[in-house]
Each structure stands twice: as structure tokens, then as C-alpha cells.
Structure 1
Amino acid sequence: MITILHNPRCSKSREGLSLLENSGKDFEVIRYLDEPISEEKLKNIISLLGITPIELVRKNETIWKSDFKGKTLSDAQIIKAMVANPKLIERPIVINGKKAVIGRPSQNILDII
């Protein structure tokens, strides 16, 4: 089952959702701002993406700039920050089995569906 971590207020996330809708494939939408993601699930997503936790952070978010920017944080601390402040998570993320991509640009999603 394909899953999209989606924020309806984000244009890139809406583009990714539209791409999935037009694919004709079954998928699940997780509105991650409304349905909290556990640390374990976020670690798994990061692993599927093949990136480090800091690469998943939206560094232009106000909360990042005010609370975390310039600090030396461990991977575990970065993950905890994203779990506590899900707006920090880059979006959209599309997962298909053991593959995942950040849908920026939305064409990245085509690589795994």
C-alpha cells in the first residue's frame, strides 16, 4: 500500500496527492499534523529515505530558527524535535513498500509508484 504523509496547506503536498490520485493506484493519506508520528515510525521513514534526520528538517520553519538553529543536536534529538513539532518534517513523503521519497519535486513520486 502506498502512503503519503500529507499537509493540505502545502502546495507541494497537494501536488503530490494529486499525482497519486491520478495514478489510479490505491493509497493511504496520513495527515501527519493531525495524526502524530511516533519516533519509531519516523526513524523507519528516515531509513527508507536513505537520509540523515537533519536532511528531513524544514530549516526555514520559525520553530526551527527560534529553538534549534545553531545548536549541536544528535540524530535522536533532531528526531524528537520533529516528533514534537511535526511542521518541521519535510513534505510530502510518499512510501511504497520498502521505498520512500520526498515529493519535492513531485516527479520524485513517480520513481516509486
Structure 2
Amino acid sequence: MTDVTLLHNPRCSTSRSALEKVESAGVEVDVVRYLTTPLDEEALRNLIGKLEDPVADLVRRDATFASLGMSDEDIATADQVVQVLLEHPTLMQRPVLVRGDRAIIGRPKDRVDAFLAD
């Protein structure tokens, strides 16, 4: 049985760091490259139900977010976040770690260590 699921973007140094920490901890990891295999609505809602962070934090506020003309008002609810991430999976924050009924965004990097220690 997998101990941790890591929603991973290998181009992201923080995501790569999280993967290294999980592997070093000796836990079994299921790596989901969410840009290659985007989460569907059910998976996103399941993730949000486990997320210990504010739901809006699941959306990256980067240049793509800005170029789409989006604001915090567009991601204020779980339904809005699901819709945005279904349409624009590149906007999903990374890395995201899931273990059992808990999920966190692995930023800053030291959050990964604390999550794995629990």
C-alpha cells in the first residue's frame, strides 16, 4: 500500500525536493505527474476535502494566472477552484502530498518534513 501520494511537477525544484524527502524517508510513494495526467473533478474534490490549507492556496498565482485576468475572487470557493484547475491544470500549486485523509501543499519545503513525521 502506498504511504504517500505526491502530485508532482518534475520541472519544479520544490516538487523535486519533496520527492527526494519522501524517498529518503523510506515511505512508499505514488508519484502523480498531474500535468501529464490531470486530476478530474472527483479527484480534485477528494483532494480539497483532505487539504489542510485554504482551498484558494491550491491555485498558483503566477504569470499564467495574471494573463488569464484572474483574481482571488475567482478562486474563493471550492467549486471555483475545481473549475479553474479543470480548465488550467498548470495553475495547481505543487507539490501536494496526500497521506490517508490528510493533504498539504509542500511549500515552504520544511512542511514536507513535518508532514512525513506525523
Please, what TM-score do these two structures have when normalized by structure 2? 0.83
Give the aligned partner of residue 82 of structure 1: 85
Alpha-carbon separation, structure 2, partners of 1:87 and 1:17: 19
Q: 1:4 to 1:70 in 2, by over 3 A?
A: closer
Does the CA-based 8 Å contact 1:42-1:79 persist in structure 2? Answer: yes
In terms of mean alpha carbon deviation, does 84-93 or 39-48 score higher?
39-48
- Select 2:17's aligned residue among 12, 15, 18: 15
In structure 1, what is the equivalent of residue 106 of structure 2? 103
- Structure 2: where are the runs of 5+ without partners? none
Q: Quick one: which amino acid aligns to residue 112 of structure 2?
A: I
**Map 1:1-113 → 2, pairs under 5 A:** 1=2, 2-62=4-64, 64-70=65-71, 72-73=73-74, 75=77, 76-113=79-116
2-side partners of 1:96 and 1:47: how far apart?
13
Partners of 1:51 and 1:101 in 2: how far apart? Answer: 6
Q: Which runs of 4+ in 1 moved over 6 A?
A: none
Q: For the residues of structure 1 that align with 2:106 and 2:55, how far apart are their CA atoms?
A: 17
Report the TM-score when normalising by structure 1.
Answer: 0.87
Instruction: Answer whether contact 2:53 2:104 (CA < 8 A) is retained.
Output: no
Q: Between Structure 1 and Structure 2, how many residues are aligned?
A: 112
Q: CA deviation at 1:72?
A: 4.1
Where 1:101 maps in the other structure, the secondary structure is strand
Q: Deviations over 1:67-112 (max 9, x none)?
A: 2424843632331111221110110000010111111122212233
- Cα separation, 2, equivalents of 1:102 and 1:77: 18
C-alpha spacing 1:25/1:50, structure 2 compared with 1 (3 Å): closer
For residue 61 of structure 1, report the CA deviation from its aligned partner.
3.3
* Change in CA separation of 1:20 and 1:71 when aligned onto 2, cut-off 3 Å: closer
Q: Deviations over 1:10-41 (max 9, x none)?
A: 01000000101111111100000001101121
Contact 2:6 2:30 in 1 (8 A): yes
Give structure 1 stretches of 5+ with no counterpart: none
